[in-house]
Structure 1
Amino acid sequence: MTTIDTFSHDVSGEKEFGFAQAIKVGDTIYISGQLAHDEHGDFLHPGDIDGQFRQVWANLEKVLAHYGVTRNQIVQDGVFVVDLPQNAATVAAAHLEYFGAHRPTSTTVGVASLFFPGQLLEINFIADTRLPA
């Protein structure tokens, strides 16, 4: 029997939009788009892509810790970024800094806008618990 485990940051939006931050099905963890919000769900760092990346990574680390996995077990990410031509170098640098030598598959998509005013990025992830931490 496959077990299912969900994780929530318990912030506004999760209940109103009806989603979990992550769901683990068997050995695979599907992680919703992480963005720059604090523990109360307040959006941080509008217009500051570096600040948003730092907060996205911090929020992702909370999800990974819940499941006892590390960034080295992430197999895929999807990066949604406003004004991709202007922010492409920053996206690449932040990705390289966070993952180091680990190389998950990745798709980066330029978008016209995201949910919050000043939101420049959102990233979703898939992790596999069978990979070494």
Structure 2
Amino acid sequence: MKWFIYLYPKSWRRRYGDELMEVIKQTDTSFKTIIDLLLGIIDAWHIELSERKVYGFRLSQLLTLIGLINVLVISKLISLREAILLEQIALIVAMLSFFLAIVVLVVNMFKVGIISAFSTNTRLAKISVGLMGSYAVFFITFLVLAN
């Protein structure tokens, strides 16, 4: 269960990693503990992404803006046939992006090891994160088109 610590953001690990390591050593491995750690990972990344800035904007604001642009572009479509075709294309590109992101992550795990693969220090890890971002954008596009 110690490897759960490496799923937290780097800044979080620097501040709380030693404490969490001690807590994990003192607790037993149970389903509730694993769920609690996973929820903590999600919460820590949510806070990290909310505070991280790209070109002066928060990353969460950029993702919202990309989703809004998708909605505006899709709402300008003329016919239903075009919407169905774009929906299929968006789903195919999303699935392909997800598949490639997982493949790149697995290759990175074999190349640098499991712990280093989950950091963004390597080029393959950055490529995998970028592919997951494109997966999210195209999947949001698919969901908007499907509704």
More strand by percentage: 1
Q: Which has the larger radius of gyration?
A: 2
What TM-score, normalized by structure 1, do the two folds share? 0.25
More helix by percentage: 2
More relative contact order in 1 or in 2 (CA 8 Å, sep 6+)? 1
What TM-score, normalized by structure 2, do the two folds share? 0.23
